[in-house]
């Protein structure tokens, strides 16, 4: 058990002051829940799924319950899970009625020949698999609805947040606009690495928009031989930069997780513009949380210590 | 104009003998149509779109007219386009009623803040943009329908074709089963590189399945500073291997297009299993067509010479 590590994030963006405490508490709870699984001998896949379920069920985060709304006022969620042991992955895009999209991603990984199912086709599999189906409206919080009302006034929901090469602009999103993708990476007692990422996307997105989250190499990547990554930030930039896979390649070529993450984020900014964040664990159990946005809530557990932070450079340390 | 290069592919798989002539003729026609655009001063983006339109409209290929059918007997197409000049990309997944999915991908790239739209949301944008909308049934050929009837008898449409680590099995798909994604890469007179990929997917796929084609880094990648790539083959493997991006990184680290493509295909086979093919042009105008499947139809034009082939090692040369 001493080699186990688990890290979660609650999204990289300019988290407003009034959501700092809730975000930090949420990632710490999720990390503890995933860790508990690892300590009971569960696989990295089950641990990341459990932690992401906790984040999906927490209305503070934009994933599952708490998802933001599309331009037409609907919920559409994306999720990915990847098992670095067998190099298997499963993902879903633009699903509305599934309580925990990461559970459906795992079902796609384990029970289909495919890696990505979207829309009604994905929802049909959720029903066949007996996953929990809910009214999409039940996933919307009053804050999500209010954010959508505010956002309807803006034409360019995405570009006004943190895309583009203008990093200063990226640091000044409209107040109260959430887009906090969640994710987890874990290394289990057997040396297996897995990652999972889940999101409600970005307020005011076009119906049918699929972001980086469910795309292997963009929203996450896991390979037992190297390490695992989950990303967050400006989805379109992360997609074009293949952010998660870039970080894995950096590690494969000898970089530490911290250097690999920083270099991947810098490369994304210079090549396609856009800020973001990532959490990484390598096969030796070294971990990092890196972000180029103003804030990112994260929490990691290793050797009975809980680490967490939300501001650049901040690392709180507590015994479990 | 002397630096221009254009290459197309019609899919990497065990193309049956009775489709060899049609496939070769189809890629040669498409290459000539894209080339004509380049010679008239069009951008690489317009050239790849034109060539892919030709392949989409040709019933020999599994893209646009000629798309294969899902498990429930419907057409669902994916497409990607990427502009290596501005590092922009656009893609669509699981669209049914759009005559030329690559045109919609270009619309997404140029007129939305997003990189991937799927299903009904994507189709809505096609209608708003005034693109040609057709009855999905009109995209189905008698051969496509027949293939689907045959295929309904098989449970595992994907794994029986050419996935898995068993390369011998990969070489022996069921006779007559087509899954020939199409694609194009071009370098224009201004040194700009673009790629495009389009597909009807794989016979018997689950509704909502999105393959590698519309995923940046999997189905294609273009970066003026390095080169451009379009891929084809076992979608789920290509997705997990980030095949196109891997080839680009190999070139960035100094490899020729041929070495970069071969190494990317070998890496995919050893890491996640699965065969495929890719066409590549680097920023110096060197090009290659590589495949680990039994056959891949391809055609390239450079300096008034048309090159083409379909068997391993085969290169036909003709003056334009």
pLDDT for A307 equals 98
Q: Give yes or no for B205 touching A (CB within 8 A).
A: yes
List all residues of chain A from 81 to 120 with a beta carbon under 8 Å from chain B.
87-89, 93-94, 112-120
Which of the 8 DSSP states describes residue A18? G
Report how far apart, in Å, the C-alpha atoms of B97 and of each of A94, B94, B248 are.
19, 10, 33
Rounded average pLDDT over B78-91 = 98
pLDDT of residue A165: 43
Q: Which residues constitute the domain of residue A26? A: 5-88+140-319
Q: What is the mean pLDDT of residues A51-57?
A: 98
Spell out which residues of chain A touch residue B114, defining contact as CB-CB under 8 Å: 158, 205-206, 209, 211, 236
Determine how β-strand A193-199 pairs with β-strand B77-83: unpaired
Determine the pLDDT at residue A150.
Answer: 86
Residue B113 counted as domain residue: no
Number of domains composing chain B? 1
Q: Determine, yes or no, domain membership for B44.
A: yes
Nearest CA in chain A to B271: A87
CA dihedral sign of residues A194, A205, A30, A294: positive
DSSP state letter for B205: P
A313 CA to chain B: closest CA distance, Å? Answer: 31
Predicted pLDDT at A108:
98
Do residues A284 and A193 make contact, with C-beta atoms less than 8 angstroms apart? no
Tell me if ipTM is over 0.90. yes
Position A85 scores a pLDDT of 97
A316 shares contact with chain B (CB less than 8 Å) = no
Where is A232: in which H helix or E strand? strand A227-233
Q: What is the mean pLDDT of residues B58-70?
A: 96
Please check whether residue A69 touches B, CB under 8 A: no
Contact B117, B37 (CB under 8 A): no
| 3-state secondary structure labels for all residues of B140-190 | CCHHHHHHHHHHCCCCCCCCCCCCCCCHHHHCCCCCCCCCCCEEEEEECCC
Across the range A21-49, mean pLDDT stands at 98
**Is A125 in the B-facing interface, judged by CB distances under 8 Å?**
yes
At residue B178, the pLDDT reads: 54
What's the CA angle centered on A67, arms A61 and A73, to 5 degrees? 150
Whole-angstrom distance, CA of residue A87 vs CA of residue A78: 20
Chain A residue with the nearest C-alpha to that of B114: A236
Does the beta carbon of B242 lie under 8 angstroms from any beta carbon of chain A? yes
Structural domain includes residue B181: yes
Go through A231-249 and write b for each residue having 16 or more CB atoms within 10 A of its CB, e for each that does not.
Answer: bbbbbbbbbbbbbbbbbbb
Domain of residue A28, CATH code: 3.60.20.30
Q: Which helix (H) or strand (E) holds A279?
A: strand A276-282
Interface-testing mutation among B113, B154, B163, B264, with chain A (most A C-beta atoms within 10 A):
B113
Summary mean pLDDT of chain B? 92
Domain-embedded: residue B233? yes
Query: Per residue in A11-23, pLDDT tens?
Result: 999 899 999 999 9
Checking if the pLDDT of B290 tops 80, the result is: yes
Query: Which residues of A are known to be catalytic?
Result: 181
Q: How far is B115 from chain A (nearest CA, A)?
A: 6
SS (H, E, C) B57-97: HCCCCCCCCCCCCCCCCCCCEEEEEEECCCCEEEEEEEECC
Helix (H) or strand (E) holding A265: helix A257-271
Residue where the block lists tokens 């080339």: B35
pLDDT at A118: 98
Q: How far apart are CA B102 and CA B95, in angstroms?
A: 11
Q: Report the SS3 class of residue A186.
A: strand
Min Cα separation B119/chain A (Å): 6
pLDDT band at B180 (very low <50, low <70, confident <90, very high): confident
Among candidates B121, B210, B249 on the partner chain, residue whose Cβ is nearest the Cβ of A207: B121
> Which of A210, A240, A272 is opposite residue B118, by nearest beta carbon?
A210
For residue B81, being part of any structural domain is answered with yes
Complete DSSP assignment for A165-209: S-HHHHT-PPTT-----EEEEEE-TTS-EEEEEEE---TTPPTTB
Specify whether the backbone of B52 is left (phi greater than 0), alpha (psi in -120 to 50) or beta.
Answer: alpha
- Show residues of chain B in contact with A89, CB under 8 Å: 239-240
Confidence at residue A159, expressed as pLDDT on a 0 to 100 scale? 52
Nearest-neighbour CA in chain B from A32: distance (Å): 29
The two tokens of residue B63 are: 């893209």
Eight-state DSSP code of residue A74:
-
Q: Considering only CA atoms, which of A246, A224, A236 is closest in space to residue A290?
A: A246
Distance CA A211, CA A112 (A): 22
Q: What would the pLDDT profile of A246-291 be if each residue is shown by its tens digit?
A: 999 999 999 999 999 999 999 999 999 999 999 999 999 999 999 9
Q: CB within 8 A of B19, min separation 6: which ones?
A: B60, B178
- Return d(Cα A102, Cα A91) in angstroms, integer: 8
Q: What is the pLDDT of residue A171?
A: 40
- Residue A119 inside a domain? The answer is no
pLDDT in tens, A60-110: 999 999 999 999 999 999 999 999 999 999 999 999 999 999 999 999 999
pLDDT digits (tens, 9 = 90+) for B14-50: 899 999 999 999 999 999 999 999 999 999 999 999 9
Q: If you measure CA to CA, which chain A residue comes closest to B226?
A: A271
Q: What is the pTM of this model?
A: 0.93
Residue A45 falls inside a structural domain: yes
Residue B261 has which token pair? 């493509």
Count other Cβ atoms within 10 Å, centred on residue B155: 9
Tell whether B125 is covered by a domain: no
Average pLDDT of every residue of chain A: 92
Residue B161: predicted pLDDT: 54
Residues of B in contact with A116 (CB under 8 A): 93, 209-211, 215, 239
Count interface pairs A-B at CB distance under 8 A: 142
CA distances from B79 to B51, B68, B118 (A): 13, 14, 10
């Amino acid at each position: 058990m001493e080699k186990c590590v688990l890290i979660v994030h609650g999204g990289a963006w300019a988290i407003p002051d009034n959501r700092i405490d809730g975000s930090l508490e949420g990632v710490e709870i999720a990390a503890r829940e995933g860790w508990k699984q690892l300590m009971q001998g569960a696989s990295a896949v089950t641990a990341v799924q459990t932690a992401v379920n906790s984040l999906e069920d927490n209305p503070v985060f934009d994933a599952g319950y708490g998802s933001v709304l599309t331009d037409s006022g609907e919920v559409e969620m994306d999720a990915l899970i990847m098992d670095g042991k067998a190099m298997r992955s499963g993902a879903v895009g633009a699903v509305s009625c599934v309580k925990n999209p990461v559970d459906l991603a795992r079902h796609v990984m384990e029970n289909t020949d495919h890696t990505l199912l979207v829309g009604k086709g994905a929802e049909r599999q959720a029903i066949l698999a007996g996953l929990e189906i809910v009214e999409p409206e039940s996933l919307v919080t009053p804050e999500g609805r209010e954010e959508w009302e505010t956002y309807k006034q803006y034409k360019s929901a995405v570009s006004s947040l943190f895309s583009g090469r203008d990093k200063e602009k990226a640091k000044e999103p409209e107040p109260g606009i959430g887009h906090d993708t969640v994710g987890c990476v874990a290394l289990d007692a057997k040396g297996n690495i897995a990652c999972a990422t889940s999101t409600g996307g970005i307020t005011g997105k076009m119906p049918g928009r699929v972001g980086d989250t469910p795309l292997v190499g963009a929203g996450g990547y896991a390979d037992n031989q190297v390490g695992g990554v989950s990303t967050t930030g400006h989805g379109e930039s992360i997609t074009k930069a293949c952010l998660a896979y870039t970080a894995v390649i950096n590690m494969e070529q000898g970089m530490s997780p911290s250097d690999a993450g920083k270099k991947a984020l810098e490369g994304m900014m210079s090549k396609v513009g856009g800020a973001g964040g990532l959490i990484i664990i390598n096969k030796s159990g070294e971990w990092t949380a890196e972000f180029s946005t103003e804030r990112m809530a994260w929490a990691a557990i290793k050797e009975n210590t809980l680490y967490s932070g939300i501001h650049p450079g901040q690392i709180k340390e507590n015994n479990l």
